[in-house]
Amino acid sequence: MLGAHGILGWIIIGGLAGAIAKALMPGRDPGGCIITIILGIAGAVFAGYLGQMLNFYGPNDAVGFIGAIVGAFIILFIYRLIARRR
């Protein structure tokens, strides 16, 4: 169970990972600061899930910052594909 510090940590790391993923991906991005944080958090969760499925991480291991950025990059790519179709 996450405490207040854990949730704040997810928001900070997620925001940084989302901002770096947006900076690395060329083109115009739909969404603002809140979307960036949400994409970063979703990217970290996605990277953790994928890492566990590929046996890179154990069930209680935390995803590294690079993994969170890669996950956010993938989520941002999918988000752009969906947003472009509307």
pLDDT digits (tens, 9 = 90+) for 54-72: 888 777 766 777 888 888 8
Give the pLDDT confidence score for residue 1 in this predicted structure: 45
Longest dimension (CA), the chain: 38
Q: How far apart are CA 70 and CA 47, in angstroms?
A: 7
Q: How far apart are CA 14 and CA 36, in angstroms?
A: 8
Confidence (pTM)? 0.73
Report the percent of the chain where pLDDT is more than 90: 0
Report the percent of the chain where pLDDT is more than 70: 78
Does residue 29 register a pLDDT over 60? yes
Produce one character per residue of 64-84: b if its CB has 16 or more CB atoms within 10 Å, e if not: beebbbbbbbbbbeebbeeee
